[in-house]
Amino acid sequence: MIEYDFLTAKDVDSALEYLHKYESIKVIAGGTDLLVDIHKESSRLEKFDYILDISNIKALKFIEETKETIELGPLCTHTMLINSNIINKHFPFLVTAAKSIGSPQIRNRGTVGGNISNASPAADLIPPLMALNSEIELSSVRGRRLVKLENYIVGPYKTSKNHDELVTKIIIPKVDENYRFSFQKIGRRRALNIARLNLAVVAKINEEDLKIEDIRIVPGSATPFPVRFKNIEREALNKKSNELNLEELAKKIGDEMVNITGERWSTPYKKPALGAIFKKAMMEITNLSDGR
């Protein structure tokens, strides 16, 4: 049985003081990951002596729009994303990803900050947020710093956050109207499903010549932790969307996964499956129906 002392923070400053004072400490908000790990005494849990509850810090629960960004508080729940007019307007595929997470109870409790900081290879919000070039604001008693999400996740269940830092904001840059989005997911079952594979694609397509001017491709559950598939991005960049050979690209994205992970027991399934959902995403983004 894991034993620990329970601490409660009433505001951000008191949370940062606790994190500064105690080194062996875990932060809890929704608890949908941490409580399960504690119950199972998961081997990936590092030793800790304290749990810090930040769930009642109202200043960390928000969705706000600025001139150039959308900002999320780390205590923003999946349900808040789903119901947000701001998110539905600017990033509808983020709503699709949030809807795919667990049950209504999990979506009501689970938080964006927790989903990111747990850094699960199967996290559904990380691929779309990474494809959007999101940044994480980390705060401590020493001050604040920004880190790109693709640099924040450094391994399976590992982040670059220091022990005395707290995620205080997720910042998503706005994109122009020529950007298109797709989120695809394959789960083990239709309800309460953890992603066996997921994929986020963000692409800017010139309306006049259909050229792909920007593209970001981030699979989940395909690699030890989510990363952009930049080799595949380069294959598609500056190509006309109606001239893409999606069959060839679908094969190449599977090969890229194997280049990163090596051959595994799941490779015979995941390699063609990743190609299939990538092809589906690209057809959705480019409005192609013939699969070329």
Is 207 part of any domain?
Answer: yes
Q: Are residues 75 and 40 in the same domain?
A: no
Least confident stretch, 67-81, 131-145, 266-280: 266-280
Q: Are residues 126 and 91 in the same domain?
A: yes
Helix (H) or strand (E) holding 182: strand 179-187
Share of the chain above pLDDT 90, in %: 77
Domain boundary among 139, 173, 207: 173
Domain boundary among 138, 173, 208: 173
Q: Which two tokens stand for residue 38?
A: 């504690």
Q: For the chain, what is the mean pLDDT?
A: 91
Q: Are residues 263 and 204 in the same domain?
A: yes
Nearest to 57 by CA among 24, 103, 16: 16
Q: Are residues 36 and 100 in the same domain?
A: no
Nearest to 193 by CA among 106, 73, 78, 288: 106
Is 80 part of any domain?
Answer: yes
Alpha-carbon span 74 to 59, nearest angstrom: 10
Number of domains comprising the chain: 3
| Residue whose tokens read 């900081």 | 117
Q: Are residues 44 and 105 in the same domain?
A: no
CATH number of the domain residue 132 falls in: 3.30.465.10
Q: Are residues 187 and 250 in the same domain?
A: yes
Q: Are residues 46 and 63 in the same domain?
A: no
CATH number of the domain residue 259 falls in: 3.30.390.50
Is 246 part of any domain?
Answer: yes
Domain boundary among 111, 143, 173: 173
Is 43 part of any domain?
Answer: yes
Q: Where are the alpha helices (DSSP H) in the chain?
A: 12-21, 34-40, 78-83, 85-90, 92-99, 104-109, 112-118, 126-131, 149-152, 230-236, 246-261, 267-286
pTM of model > 0.95: no
pLDDT at 118 over 60: yes
Is 291 part of any domain?
Answer: no
pLDDT at 34 over 80: no
pLDDT at 183 over 70: yes
What is the SS3 assignment for 219? strand
Who wins on pLDDT, 261 or 72?
72
Domain that holds residue 126: 58-173
pLDDT at 240 over 70: yes
Q: What's the whole-number mean pLDDT along residues 70-97?
A: 97
Q: How confident is the model at residue 30 (pLDDT cuts 50, 70, 90)?
A: confident
Q: Are residues 96 and 199 in the same domain?
A: no
Nearest to 69 by CA among 201, 171, 139: 171
Half-sphere exposure of 258 (CA within 13 A, CB side): 18
Q: Are residues 129 and 210 in the same domain?
A: no
pLDDT at 60 over 90: yes
Q: How would you class 11 by CB atoms within 10 Å of its CB: exposed for 0-12, middle for 13-18, buried for 19 or more?
A: middle
Is 292 part of any domain?
Answer: no
Q: Are residues 193 and 143 in the same domain?
A: no
Q: Cα 80 vs. chain centroid, distance in angstroms?
A: 16
Residue 40: its pLDDT value, please? Answer: 66
Q: How would you class 268 by CB atoms within 10 Å of its CB: exposed for 0-12, middle for 13-18, buried for 19 or more?
A: exposed
Q: Are residues 18 and 72 in the same domain?
A: no
Distances (CA, A) of 11 to 18, 140, 170: 11, 13, 18
Q: Are residues 209 and 191 in the same domain?
A: yes
Is 211 part of any domain?
Answer: yes
CATH number of the domain residue 44 falls in: 3.30.43
Is 256 part of any domain?
Answer: yes
Sort strands 135-140 and 179-187 into parallel, antiparallel or unpaired: unpaired
